[in-house]
Amino acid sequence: MMHWQAIGALISKDLRLFFRNRFFAFITVLSLVVFIGVYFVMPRTVDETISLAVYAPGAGGEALLRLMQAEGAEAEGLILLMMGSDDALRQAVLDEDAVAGLALPADLQPALLAGGRPTVGLYLRADAAPEMQEMMQALIEGLSLALSGRALQIEVRAETLGPDLAGEQIPYRDRMRPLFAVMVLMMEVFGLASLLSEEIESGAIRALLATPLGVRELFVAKGAVSLLLSLSQAVLLLWAIGGLGQQALILLVALLLGAAMVTGVGFLVAASGRDMLSVTGLAMLALLLLSVPPFGVLFPGLVTGWARIIPSHYLATVVHQAGNLGAGWGQIWQPLLILLAFDVAIGWAGVAVLKRRFA
Amino acid sequence: MTQNAIVAENLVYRYGHLTAVDDISFAVAEGEILGFLGPNGAGKTTTVRMLTGQSRPHGGRALLLGLDVARETAAVQAQIGVCFEVANLYEQMSAIENLALFGKLYGVRDLDVDALLRRVGLDGRGRDRVAGYSKGMKQRLMVARALAHRPRILFLDEPTEGLDPVSAEAIRNLVLEERARGVTVFLTTHDMLEADRICDRVAFINQGRIAALDTPHSLKQRYGARVIEAQVQGAGGALETRQIVLDKPETPEAVQALFSQEQVVTIHSREASLEDIFIRTTGRGLA
């Protein structure tokens, strides 16, 4: 049976020690202020340059290029990315390298000249502006006119890739929300790991474990302190920067799972570090590593597939898709589940190695 | 009838291939102070860890107040107080906060922190952070922490090591007060004089085994020899020491010869110390 009074006493003690440590108190407040400040000084508008990916195995591609040059499209901010296959085209849209993709059939020009009505594939990103489809439609009509002398000769089959969400372009500062969330959560690794490491080094843990308090209660208390501190800060941050405006429940669940991840990482760091300096170094390393995936949200295409082995990738994905794109449970259950699996694995490893240090 | 508060039955503990505690057995009666003496690495701390439920024995078992320590660890730990050799207090908290924390961990509802601090001579300093305490004050607070829940058995690991005489005496007096209250005390120490003064029995542990266990008086009788030590004027004027063992058939003649043949400057009798007996029974010193 859990010894709840003892757990409560430990939580109260850790919170007291946390806030008595001027360093932790300082970096906690500082990180919140800095992240909120950075958010509000970033532009609320976006760069209107549009990248269009095109897969054109026949003469259609060249015709499109000629048409765009004639229209002076590049000067207007339209950039063409020529892709080698339909799969590469879809991936470019999914990876956010292009806002839309056009798949032209190989026989586009002959079909048009023969009076046929060929079909052109239009792939749109979930967060593409509603005007994007209209703009692409106009572009395709212009292409039809250039190739056959008649407009409306081409059938357009529009397909939304990724979560089917009609939305607006997302300013960079909103894209930074996952990065802020991960970083503010990670700040607690410093606090938790240092508190634990100090207790191990001073032998205070030994004094605790000589009382009727069990190891299980000790871990519950430590986990609760870490969850409380990291989750409250992350929620406060997202609330302050307007990140809880939509799908708040999903975001809270994601942040809770993120806080659990941070707790496991904190246990691992505390077990691996031998003193305050090594704990700080290891915590910094973990912070840097876990901050990589959110950069992929901020700068699409910057981070490649390997980021998927970092658990924060799934946290960043959920915070971005739910918070910025309004994705629902149906669209984000998978990354949430993977994040939960990471939590279990990291938490188990953290408890196991930390127990060895208690012995 | 006096019951045993602590019973160790064939306790074994290994660190890899090294056997730190090698099949030791002993019992400590309720209200008794047992001194556990041995050099560094002899297995004292490992034994204490097994007895207090911090480590599980690899062989044998320990019973405290009739409870198996390995099976009923929490129930045992609720009735024991442990004072560690190294100060492991929360230094950023005050003495009152430290004691209140451990009171809650033990489920004590009526903890009188002020009275406890008065007992260890820390009244008036309870609100100060422990980081500002001297070594003696920290040690006294550690003893207070171990007493917070009025334990029936007290484990003290080198409680007076490195302390000034006043602090050391204060802790010894606390130990004797607790014994008078019926508390059983398991005292680990290097200090043979301290053990001689306050322990009802002492156990010598060496290389994981108990070399001797008895009252200090019995050990002295069994292993020690009473001697007369005399300083005499030597040939060149320098002082020389002569030693005559008492309780032997030839002793009277030796004493007579000393006074008739030597110029005696000083003379006194000396009892064997626990340290002498430790060296004799284990073949090594305590360092």
pLDDT tens, position by position, B100-109: 999 999 999 8
Q: What is the mean pLDDT of residues B65-83?
A: 94
Q: CB-based burial of residue B178 (10 Å sphere; 0-12 exposed, 13-18 middle, 19+ buried)?
A: buried
**Which chain A residue lies closest to B148 (C-alpha atoms)?**
A211
Q: What is the pLDDT of residue B2?
A: 61
Give chain B positions within 8 Å (CB) of A17. Answer: 90, 92-93
User: Is the Cβ pair A6, B102 closer than 8 Å?
Assistant: no
What ipTM did this prediction achieve? 0.82
Give chain B positions within 8 Å (CB) of A4. Answer: none
- Spatial separation of the C-alpha atoms in residues B202 and B214, rounded to whole Å: 6
CA distance A217 to chain B (A): 11
**Are the C-beta atoms of B62 and B74 separated by less than 8 Å?**
no
Select the residue of A204, A212, A214 nearest B88 (Cβ to Cβ): A204
Q: What is the pLDDT of residue A59?
A: 66
Q: Return the residue in A11, A12, A195, A211 with the most chain B beta carbons within 10 A, the one to mutate for interface testing.
A: A211
Residue A243 reports pLDDT greater than 90: no
* The residue type at B9: E
Q: Does A357 touch chain B (CB under 8 A)?
A: no
User: Is the Cβ pair A209, B54 closer than 8 Å?
Assistant: yes
User: Is the Cβ pair A211, B84 closer than 8 Å?
Assistant: no
Query: And the tokens for B24?
Result: 């030791």
Q: Does A22 touch chain B (CB under 8 A)?
A: no
User: Of the candidates A254, A318, A310, A236, which has an alpha carbon nearest to the alpha carbon of residue A36?
Assistant: A236
Query: And the tokens for A79?
Result: 């950039």
**Which chain B residue lies closest to A205 (C-alpha atoms)?**
B88
Q: Does B248 touch chain A (CB under 8 A)?
A: no
CA distance A263 to chain B (A): 22
User: Is the Cβ pair A212, B78 closer than 8 Å?
Assistant: yes
Q: Does A216 touch chain B (CB under 8 A)?
A: no
Select the residue of B53, B82, B104 nearest A5 (Cβ to Cβ): B104
**Alpha helix (H) ranges present in B39-94?**
44-51, 73-77
Indicate the range of A245-259, A272-286, B73-87 predicted with least confidence: A272-286
| Cα B137 off chain centre by | 20
**Tens-digit pLDDT profile for residues B46-69:** 999 999 999 999 999 999 999 999
Q: Does A207 touch chain B (CB under 8 A)?
A: yes
Select the residue of B52, B84, B105 nearest A6 (Cβ to Cβ): B105
Give chain A positions within 8 Å (CB) of B106. Answer: 211-212
Q: Does B131 touch chain A (CB under 8 A)?
A: no
State percent of chain A over pLDDT 90.
Answer: 21
Q: Does A25 touch chain B (CB under 8 A)?
A: no
Instruction: Indicate the helix (H) or strand (E) that contains A121.
Output: strand A119-125
Residue A184 reports pLDDT greater than 90: no
Work out whether strand A50-55 and strand B153-157 pair parallel, antiparallel, or are unpaired.
unpaired
**Tens-digit pLDDT profile for residues A50-59:** 778 888 887 6
**Which chain A residue lies closest to B109 (C-alpha atoms)?**
A5
Query: And the tokens for B5?
Result: 């508060």
Q: What is the mean pLDDT of residues B220-245?
A: 83
Select the residue of B74, B75, B84 nearest A203 (Cβ to Cβ): B84
CA distance A234 to chain B (A): 27
Indicate the range of A100-109, A194-203, B213-222 predicted with least confidence: A100-109
User: Is the Cβ pair A207, B104 closer than 8 Å?
Assistant: no
Superfamily of domain B4-221: P-loop containing nucleotide triphosphate hydrolases (3.40.50.300)
Residues in CB range of B68: below 8 A, 6 or more apart = B61, B62
User: Is the Cβ pair A210, B145 closer than 8 Å?
Assistant: no
Select the residue of A3, A17, A210 nearest B54 (Cβ to Cβ): A210
Q: Does A17 touch chain B (CB under 8 A)?
A: yes
Q: What is the pLDDT of residue A102?
A: 82
- The angle at the Cα of A256, spanning A251 to A262, to the nearest 5 degrees, equals 125
| pLDDT-based confidence at residue A18 (cuts at 50, 70, 90) | confident
Q: What is the mean pLDDT of residues B223-242?
A: 83
Q: Return the residue in B101, B106, B139 with the most chain A beta carbons within 10 A, the one to mutate for interface testing.
A: B101
Q: What is the mean pLDDT of residues B248-270?
A: 87
Select the residue of A6, A206, A213 nearest B88 (Cβ to Cβ): A206
Higher pLDDT, A276 or A329: A329
Give chain A positions within 8 Å (CB) of B71. Answer: none
**Are the C-beta atoms of A199 and A132 separated by less than 8 Å?**
no
**Are the C-beta atoms of B29 and B4 separated by less than 8 Å?**
yes
User: Is the Cβ pair A207, B88 closer than 8 Å?
Assistant: yes
Q: What is the mean pLDDT of residues A97-115?
A: 78
User: Is the Cβ pair A204, B89 closer than 8 Å?
Assistant: yes
Instruction: Indicate the helix (H) or strand (E) that contains A197.
Output: helix A177-202
Alpha-carbon distances of A336 from A189, A228, A321, A354, rounded to whole Å? 21, 20, 12, 26
| pLDDT-based confidence at residue B235 (cuts at 50, 70, 90) | confident
Beta bridge partners of B64: B6, B67
Query: And the tokens for B83?
Result: 């004072």
Q: What is the mean pLDDT of residues B262-285?
A: 81
User: Is the Cβ pair B90, A203 closer than 8 Å?
Assistant: no
Give chain B positions within 8 Å (CB) of A203. Answer: 84, 86, 88
**Are the C-beta atoms of A159 and A123 separated by less than 8 Å?**
yes
DSSP string, A255-306: HHHHHHHHHHHHHHHHHH-SSHHHHHHHHHHHHHHHHHHHHHHHSTTSS-GG
Alpha-carbon distances of B46 from A159, B11, B32, rounded to whole Å? 70, 10, 21
Select the residue of A3, A13, A210 nearest B101 (Cβ to Cβ): A13
Q: Does A213 touch chain B (CB under 8 A)?
A: yes
